[in-house]
Amino acid sequence: MSNLETSANVIWHNASVTRKRREEQNSHKGTILWFTGLSGSGKSSLAHAVEEQLHQRGCRTFVLDGDNVRHGLCSDLGFSVEDRVENIRRISEVAKLFLEAGVIVLTAFISPFRAERDTARKVVPHGDFLEIFCDSSIEVCEARDVKGLYKRARAGEIPEFTGISSPYEAPTSPELKVATGEDAIEHCVDQVLQLLAERGVLKSNA
């Protein structure tokens, strides 16, 4: 059966427990924090540090981490351009489900291509996708590279490696740009929390 035939036989079910009701129970709005940047730019570290602060405030959160997702949901994908596009498509759909649950979902993926990040943004209602650019020079990223990935990429052992043999298209107008290559992580966390407050995701007493 083709995908078209499958889609024609699938009908969306509207639940009685709505996103609004879930958000009211959570005492905060759901949103997607989409952390993007080079490998080693601090995406995962920042996402988890932000989640820790939100959790301490009683918020419902979940981090979708690039490596973790590739152990399960995207374990069948490689790192070709086509597979990377599919990887981000799947993640954006999963993030949308978390959003409907009223959760603050934090995604930490290189997501190197603007077109795919724009597609992920369009999957959800306007204002629910907050792109956070973790800005760090490739020199800093390489110096932080405890896995030795950059060294292997420069030796030609890893094809299609972002920043070396595959491009990274930096965001042109992200909701937030954090200097993760220079600033302390505590400062970066504060910037993200301020963004959430400004966007009304968190209540003033959160």
Q: What is the pTM of this model?
A: 0.88
The ranges of the chain with pLDDT < 70 are: 1-7, 12, 66, 204-206
State the DSSP code for 199: T
Structural domain includes residue 9: no
Sign of CA dihedral 105, 106, 107, 113: positive
Structure tokens at 157: 């052992």
What pLDDT is stored for residue 88 in this prediction?
86
Q: What is the CATH number of the domain that holds 52?
A: 3.40.50.300
Structural domain includes residue 205: no
Structural domain includes residue 177: yes
What pLDDT is stored for residue 86 in this prediction?
87
Structure tokens at 96: 């949308």
pLDDT, tens only, 61-116: 999 986 777 777 777 777 787 888 888 888 999 999 999 999 999 999 999 999 99
Structural domain includes residue 1: no
Helix (H) or strand (E) run with residue 187 in it: helix 185-198
What pLDDT is stored for residue 2 in this prediction?
47
What pLDDT is stored for residue 1 in this prediction?
41
Give me the number of domains the chain comprises: 1
Active-site option among 111, 137, 173, 204: 111
Structural domain includes residue 6: no
Annotated catalytic residue 44: no
Beta bridge partners of 162: 166
